[in-house]
Amino acid sequence: MRSVSRLTMKNKLPILVALFFMLVLSLGKASEDKIIIAQVLYDPLTPTGGEAVELYNPTAEAVNLSGYVLATKSSNKDVTLPPVMLAPKQYFLIADEKWDETKDDDTWPAAEYEETMTLPNANSGVALRFGNETVDAVAWGESTDYSLMKGTPALPTVKGQSLRRKNLQNTGNNLDDFEAGIPVWKRATVQQSASQNVIINETILTLELEIEDAKLPELNLSLNADDLPEEGIQLFPIPGKQKQVTFSLMGELKNVTIYLTTPVKKQLLEFQNGKSNFSLNYFDLPGMYTLNAAILTKEGKFFEKNLSFEYKGIAAFEIEKNKIDFGKWKANTTTNQSRMSLKNQGNVPLHIGIHALNLQNGTEIKNQTLQAAFGNQTITIKNTLSFFNVVLQPGQQTQDLSFWFSLKEKIFSGKYRLNLGISAQP
């Protein structure tokens, strides 16, 4: 009945619920039936116990669960499944002992099977095995136990959330296949004994319900800034500096956990008295960022709120100085190198370009060679703009740009000034 309680309707609606009971015995080998892990609750709100793993049978035949085990970090046989038949397209809920007493929500269904299990709250995983075969596995956080994962571990949940398989997809990569969310448990169709070849006829039971209006608490998650008038929220970096962003969450709150998910990491944020803030570095990658809030209200209801914003790309660089003095030199010599430093002050990679604007002492000087070096590349500076192959990455230390003259014999004495144009493009 939990799925019904989540509905919000302005009018009362009759709902017909058909319950189908069908038990079928499969004579095929269990190792050939690819049951999958549909959901894992490894960090419940309950201080002790309350963990659960939900299986799903995507095949067209019933599967005998005898011989299947759940392997965890603490044991290769942390849970041994009972000899029951799991019907096609059905779920099977395995829970820690005393599930009915320790589960986070009293409306959750009873488990099909209970046994003491140990699921670590961080950087671990669980595998479904049959003999020496790993039928399925899911890991979370920064787990490095490859026997308990498929592909890359999924992003971790916050306390009280479960890892749920997205639309029952199975690409073989936990990061792509699983997402954090509010636990939603399905009911199973099983045969309690696999020792008899029995097919039970389908029974249909029709129920009629009335759903009252459900009023959600007022919860408002917002940011204090938006740098563009376009739809959605867009924030620009501040070249060379951190950007402070304040957010607020208003409502009747008991407990709140908020993460900031960026293109490269998931960061836990501090949150007190309805407001908090976080910093964005000028070199943080552009892309979509999301605030994920897991909320427990004073009424004991659990909700999720998400707010996404776009961190825009910005190209900016800083030059250490804008003048270089080579001092006094004679013709037919090469000056010493003179250096200045460049630094990327934005969040996109930059190519540096350079060209001469003028070189004169009353008249333009010809046949004098001016060269510049950046990284491991040297170019001769000309009137046309030339770009170095070296890329100036965001957040790097300063990188030197060096210059030197090769002075020919036929040059008049005097003081010369050269104006250079230095450009950058992403």
User: For 211-267, how does the pLDDT look when each residue is reduced to its tens digit (9 = 90+)?
Assistant: 554 455 555 667 777 778 878 888 888 888 888 888 888 777 778 888 888 888 888
Asked, for residue 322, whether it belongs to a domain, the answer is: yes
Asked if residue 109 and residue 33 are part of one domain, the reply reads yes
- The two structure tokens encoding residue 212: 């009252």
In a domain, residue 215? The reply is no
Task: Note the pLDDT of residue 409.
Answer: 56
pLDDT score of 247: 83
Residue count (the chain): 426
Residue 82 within any structural domain of the chain: yes
Q: Where are the alpha helices (DSSP H) in 294-397?
A: none
Mean pLDDT of 309-315: 89
157 shares a domain with 129? yes
Domain that holds residue 250: 220-311
Are 156 and 228 part of one and the same domain? no
Q: Note whether 225 and 297 are same-domain residues.
A: yes
Residue 324 to residues 278, 319, 367, 393, 419: CA-CA distances in angstroms?
Answer: 40, 12, 21, 25, 10
The tens digit of pLDDT for each residue in 331-348 reads 666 666 677 888 888 888
Quick check: 67 pLDDT over 90? yes
In sequence order, what are the residues at sequence separation of 6 or more whose Cβ sits closer than 8 angstroms to the Cβ of residue 191? 23, 24, 25, 62, 84, 85, 87, 198, 200
Rounded to the nearest angstrom, the gap between the alpha carbon of residue 422 and the centroid of all alpha carbons in its chain is: 38
* Residue 181 domain-assigned (yes or no): yes
Number of domains the chain is built from: 3
Lowest mean pLDDT among 19-23, 199-203, 224-228: 19-23
Domain annotation covers residue 400: yes
What is the pLDDT confidence band of residue 52, given thresholds at 50, 70 and 90?
Answer: very high
**Do 233 and 145 reside in the same domain of the chain?**
no
95 closest CA partner among 105, 103, 86, 87: 103
Q: How much is the pLDDT for 135?
A: 95
Comparing 130 with 18, the larger pLDDT belongs to: 130
Same domain for 380 and 347, yes or no, is yes
Residues 176 and 323 in one domain: no
Domain contains 363: yes
Greater confidence (361 vs 64) lies with: 64
Q: Secondary structure of the chain: what % helix, strand, coil (to 5)? A: 5, 45, 50
Segment 67-89 shows an average pLDDT of 93
Give Dmax over CA atoms of the chain in angstroms.
Answer: 109
Beta bridge partners of 283: none
Question: How many of the other CB atoms lie within 10 Å of CB of 166?
Answer: 12
What single string gives the DSSP state of each residue in 271-303? -BTTEEEEEE-TTSPPEEEEEEEEEEETTS-EE
- Per residue in 151-178, pLDDT (tens digit) is 999 999 999 999 999 999 999 999 999 9
110-157 per-position pLDDT tens digit? 899 999 999 999 999 999 999 999 999 999 999 999 999 999 999 999
Q: How far apart are CA 152 and CA 38, in angstroms?
A: 17
Instruction: Please state, in angstroms and rounded to a whole number, the distance separating the CA atoms of residues 258 and 260.
Output: 7
Highest mean pLDDT among 15-29, 52-66, 216-230, 370-384 belongs to: 52-66
Q: Does an H or E element contain 4, and which?
A: helix 2-5
- pLDDT value of residue 171: 92
pLDDT tops 50 at residue 31: no
**pLDDT at site 219:** 59
| Mean pLDDT (whole number) for 400-416 | 70
Last residue within a domain, chosen from 248, 277, 311: 311
Which of 311, 335, 354 terminates a domain? The answer is: 311
Identify whether 132 is part of a domain: yes
Q: Identify the CATH number of the domain in which residue 371 sits.
A: 2.60.40
Residues 155 and 25 in one domain: yes
How far from the centroid of its chain's Cα atoms is residue 138's Cα?
A: 16
Last residue of a domain, one of 210, 229, 262: 210
User: Do 134 and 179 sit in the same domain of this protein?
Assistant: yes
* Residues 53 and 168 reside in one and the same domain: yes
Q: What percent of the chain has pLDDT over 90?
A: 28
Q: Of residues 325 and 257, which shows the higher confidence score?
A: 257
Are 47 and 119 within one domain? yes
CATH number of the domain within which 251 lies: 2.60.40.10
44 and 158 inside one domain: yes
Q: In the beta sheet, which residues pair with residue 23?
A: 200
Taking a C-beta distance cutoff of 8 angstroms, is the pair 288, 308 a contact? Answer: yes
Least-confidence region, from 41-50, 144-153, 304-313, 389-398 = 389-398
pLDDT of residue 35: 94
Residue-level pLDDT at 7: 28
Which tokens is 386 given? 């030339």
Instruction: Judge whether 410 lies within some domain.
Output: yes
Is a pLDDT exceeding 80 seen at residue 68?
Answer: yes
Helix (H) or strand (E) holding 136: strand 133-139
293 within 8 A of 265, measured Cβ to Cβ: no
- Of 63, 117, 68, give the one whose Cα is nearest residue 87: 63
Res. 13: pLDDT tops 50: no
